[in-house]
Amino acid sequence: MNYFETIKALKKKQFSSLYLLQGTESYLIQDVKQHLLTYALAEEDKDTNISIYDLEETSIQEVIADAETYPFFGERKLIFAQNPVFLKAKPDKVAVEHDIDALQSYLLQPVDYSIVIFIAPYEKLDERKKVTKVMKKQCENVSCEPIKEWDLSKWIDNIIKQFHVSIEKPVYDLIAQETGANLLMLRNELEKLATYVGEGGTITYEIATNLLSHNTNTTGLKLVDAVIGKDLNKAIMIYKDLEKLNEDPIALLALLASQFRTIFHVKLLKQKGYSQQQMAQQLKVHPYVVKMSITRVEKFSFDELKEIISIFTETDANVKQGKMEKSLAFELLLYQLVNRNALVKR
């Protein structure tokens, strides 16, 4: 069962006795936990019928004993069992000994008055282990893997519905480029925008531009645009803004160089017939970065891009060898790039 199906079932108060939340996306794990707390227990039972265990410190036997103990009040208990290290290929060394046979017996015959949620914040489980196979068969499996960046529009739609506001289409790319696949950041930014426009309002491109928190990577894209547009004043202004945020010139040098390397690779992959999504997967960058790079590739020949990347390499060497102060070196770099004939559109 995927995340959306799980949330839908929980809202309908359709519960399983066993859940396995597996993956490294903490936002999804926390959201499923919150929905269980909201819909599985009455408010008056939340002080007495919730247990949280760390299986790196507590044995699975204690968790099972708690699960099999009937609740004093209310109709059910919620038991969260975090870090089931015994599901990993190479379990971490822990101070407790887990009775895996007892666990497997419980998995096959769980009680109906306890909901046990195993939280495995791991990329992979050891599928060869019998306990893993039994758990995946008996539990409601909920994937909590990081989302794919090309699925961001679906997530924006899902989150924005919760706030009962609408959003203009051009805002999707803007939000995606600022938050990437970070779900917690995505929700926080959308909540901020929704609060500003109010229920029933519309998030416009202008509102989003003014209110969204800007990350360094996005500002790097703007820096590239200033260089391509041969606007030295704008490039220096963007750099000074980043400097105020204590961004190191060496880091900015690497960031700007990576943008031009991406343009080079996108140009190469485009020549080979790759689609935009295939490029994003191949280069492991945000689809928006690929989209923007595609609009820029025609402005450069391969030789010009190689020359530009060479300038970055030379500047980096001068700074690291102490031949030039890094802030001055970065400003000189911008001057060289803006004033190069290589940036003339072809």
What is the CATH number for 120?
3.40.50.300
Q: Are residues 200 and 234 in the same domain?
A: no
Residue 186, helix vs strand vs coil: helix
| Average pLDDT for 256-265 | 89
- The last residue of one of the domains, among 192, 211, 230, is 211
Q: Take residue 140 and report the two structure tokens written for it.
A: 């409601």
Sequence-distant (≥ 6) Cβ neighbours of residue 29 within 8 angstroms: 21, 23, 119, 121, 144
Q: Are residues 173 and 238 in the same domain?
A: no
- The last residue of one of the domains, among 88, 116, 143, is 143
Q: How far apart are CA 76 and CA 19, in angstroms?
A: 15
How far CA 205 is from CA of 42, 172, 240, in Å, comes to 42, 9, 25
Are 87 and 6 contacting, i.e. CB atoms less than 8 angstroms apart?
no
Q: Which residues pair with 305 in a beta bridge?
A: none
Report phi then psi at 78, rounded to 5.
-110, 125
122, 111, 113: which is closest to 78 by C-alpha?
A: 113
pLDDT of residue 345: 42
List, in sequence order, the alpha helices (H) in the chain: 3-11, 26-40, 60-68, 100-108, 130-138, 152-162, 169-179, 183-197, 205-211, 216-228, 232-244, 249-271, 276-283, 287-296, 302-320, 326-338
Q: How far apart are CA 49 and CA 69, in angstroms?
A: 11
Q: How far apart are CA 158 and CA 275, in angstroms?
A: 26
pLDDT of residue 201: 94
Where do we find the tokens 């203009």? 168
Q: Are residues 116 and 154 in the same domain?
A: no
Dihedral sign from CA coordinates of 190, 282, 144, 138? positive
Q: In this predicted model, which residue has the larger pLDDT, 295 or 138?
A: 138
Given pLDDT bands bounded at 50, 70 and 90, which one contains residue 341?
A: low
Domain total for the chain? 3
Are 103 and 20 contacting, i.e. CB atoms less than 8 angstroms apart?
no
Q: Are residues 201 and 220 in the same domain?
A: no
Residue 217 sits at the vertex; the CA angle it makes with 189 and 259, to the nearest 5 degrees, is: 150
pTM (two decimals):
0.62
How does pLDDT run across 277-332, given as a tens digit for each residue?
899 888 887 777 788 788 888 888 898 899 889 999 999 999 989 899 988 998 89
- The residue range of the domain holding 178 is 149-211
Are 142 and 19 contacting, i.e. CB atoms less than 8 angstroms apart?
yes
Q: Are residues 19 and 42 in the same domain?
A: yes
Q: Are residues 270 and 233 in the same domain?
A: yes
Q: Take residue 125 and report the two structure tokens written for it.
A: 């489980």
pLDDT of residue 154: 85
The single-letter DSSP state of residue 78 is E
pLDDT of residue 172: 87
Q: Is the pLDDT of residue 170 over 60?
A: yes
Q: Is the pLDDT of residue 43 over 50?
A: yes
- Gap between the terminal Cα atoms of the chain: 51
Q: Are residues 135 and 163 in the same domain?
A: no
Are 253 and 312 contacting, i.e. CB atoms less than 8 angstroms apart?
yes
Q: Are residues 227 and 336 in the same domain?
A: yes
Q: Are residues 85 and 129 in the same domain?
A: yes
The single-letter DSSP state of residue 285 is S
pLDDT of residue 301: 87
Q: Take residue 236 and report the two structure tokens written for it.
A: 């220096």
Q: Are residues 107 and 15 in the same domain?
A: yes
Q: Are residues 301 and 225 in the same domain?
A: yes
pLDDT of residue 344: 42
What is the CATH number for 178?
1.10.8.60
How does pLDDT run across 60-111, given as a tens digit for each residue?
999 999 999 999 888 899 999 999 999 998 877 888 899 999 999 999 999 9
Q: Are residues 238 and 293 in the same domain?
A: yes
How does pLDDT run across 277-291, given as a tens digit for each residue?
899 888 887 777 788
pLDDT of residue 325: 92
| Average pLDDT for 9-27 | 94
Q: Is the pLDDT of residue 248 over 90?
A: no
How does pLDDT run across 195-228, given as a tens digit for each residue?
999 999 999 989 988 888 765 556 666 777 788 8
What is the CATH number for 239?
1.20.272.10
Given pLDDT bands bounded at 50, 70 and 90, which one contains residue 342?
A: very low
Alpha carbon 224 to its chain's center:
24
- The last residue of one of the domains, among 187, 211, 235, is 211
